[in-house]
Amino acid sequence: MTRYQLAIVDDKPSVSNSLARELTNLDRAEIVFTATNGVDFLEQLKVLPLNKHPQVVLMDIDMPVMNGIEAVRNSHNLYPDIQYIMLTVFDDDDKLFEALKAGANGYLLKEERTDSIMQAIEEVIEKKGAPMSPRIARKTLQLLVNNTTAVTTNAEVDKSGLTEREIEILKSMVAGLDYKEIGEKLFISPNTVRNHISKVYDKLHISSKTQAVKLAIKNRWV
């Protein structure tokens, strides 16, 4: 069974240590290191050889010295191969959007069970997904649906060349639905969904679900 290389960044060592134990006990993870803030995290990365870097970092947001969003922004530029999942108590709009724009690949609430966090790690690494806690996914979708300016008048949507059906599918991707679930929601086959998503990727000049979700959220296209 694959063991993933992880780092945990949280200003409360008790939280980091507890989560590290729980993830290790699942026998699916090896904790490369823990850090107490963004600066600590970047300093530890700097002294590690690239082949020893974590594949995924579980990053808190509210930390002293350097917060999690700033840490992701800086480390994403320096180490683009590392994936970042925000693991936080915050579900407010600004922090969610700022984290995704900074380069976060997923956004989970600390209330999630350890096995759900492990599934999110696997999704990011193996499927190039963009995992979100269900509450966050619903909140994100609702924010975008309610933003009528973005839906009806945003010139960027027109520039993207996406059809109404492709916008519908992009909304479903933001909500975290897979091909089968999107097909059931829109009464089309998974193969048809796959074809639409391929066209979305071509029009947006991207190659993954993570990029599509980030672009949609960043530009308020859906």
Q: What predicted TM-score, i.e. pTM, was given to this entire model?
A: 0.66
Token pair, residue 102, equals 């900074």
Same domain flag for 148 and 122: no
Which of the listed residues 131, 147, 164 is the one where a domain comes to its end?
Answer: 131
Least confident piece of the model among 30-44, 111-125, 157-171: 157-171
Find the CATH number of the domain harbouring 20: 3.40.50.2300
| Total of domains in the chain | 2
Q: How far apart are CA 160 and CA 157, in angstroms?
A: 5
Q: Is the pLDDT of residue 131 over 90?
A: no
The Cα 46–Cα 7 span in angstroms is 14
The boundaries of the domain holding residue 168 are: 139-219
pLDDT of 47-86, one tens digit each?
Answer: 999 999 999 999 999 999 999 999 999 998 889 899 999 9
